[in-house]
Amino acid sequence: MATVEELLVFGKSHCHSAHAKILLGNVLKKNPLELLTCLEEVVPSDLEELYQKEVLALQEGKPIQYVMGEVNFHGIPFFVDERVLIPRFETEDLVEKTILYVQKYFQEPIDILDLCTGSGVIGLTLEKKLSTKTVDLSDISEDALEVAKKNKERLNSKANLIFSNYFQNIQKKYDLIISNPPYIAINEKIEQIVKDNEPEIALYAGEEGLDSYQEILKNIQPYMKEKCIIAFEIGANQKDKIINLVKQHLPNTKIETHQDLSGRDRMLFIFQNLE
């Protein structure tokens, strides 16, 4: 059996120092900063083996979120693995701004549809942060819905899971329809770690990366209540083309876009009968 200090030395020899501490803290259920106070502590052999396995997986190019099986999203720990996208800061921004809009425009509990839900982080976070009547999480990937189900159970959520290709199995109207759909163009260059690990079905959307938005917007009207918000995460260079799609399919709506912390256009909101 090895000590905490010996395992940290092993970890730092195979991956970034910060990641070595984060992984060991996660394995030992300690804050990484606490490790310095227990360097001589002996680690049980099963946890030692687990840590070494995780470090080597990280060294081989597996994202740390998949290695740990968890990501913190909006202050809530969610389970993730290779069946779903890793939630990112841009999606947290989308959720934060959506919360503000809902609080501005709706006084009563609302019905929410999280389309292309993946791990469920968007819909489940909104359920925690807002007053809701129903929250429906839909996805075409049964694998993704299994992950969303695990997160639903972890959070004691009442959300409904729906296997659906966009609106195919959706049967009601919503106050809020929110989506972080696939939006990467087929030939677009992306980080190798993303390309090698995250599910293609959740990444790519045709030659321009617009197929998902086209499919959603041309079919969405029957699922919108009279007063409704649509919220999208979008690719950094897609704003103008998506605005054109909105004007084509939902001409009598108001559109707002927002940038991320890097000044890129990453969020688009559509408002129907909301002033």
Q: 104-135, pLDDT tens digit by residue?
A: 999 999 999 999 999 999 999 999 999 999 99
CATH of domain 87-272: 3.40.50.150
Which helix (DSSP H) or strand (DSSP E) does residue 224 occupy? Answer: strand 224-233
User: What is the per-residue burial (b if ≥16 Cβ within 10 Å, else e) of 48-65?
Assistant: bebbbebbebbeeebbbb
**Which pLDDT score, from 0 to 100, does residue 259 have?**
93
* Residues 84 and 119 sit within 8 Å (Cβ to Cβ): yes
Q: What is the pLDDT of residues 20-30, one digit of tens each?
A: 888 888 888 88
Percent of the chain with pLDDT over 90: 64
pTM of this structure: 0.90
Percent of the chain, pLDDT > 70? 100
The confidence score (pLDDT) of residue 138 equals 98
Amino acid symbol at 88: R
Average pLDDT of span 180-207: 80
End-to-end CA distance of the chain: 65
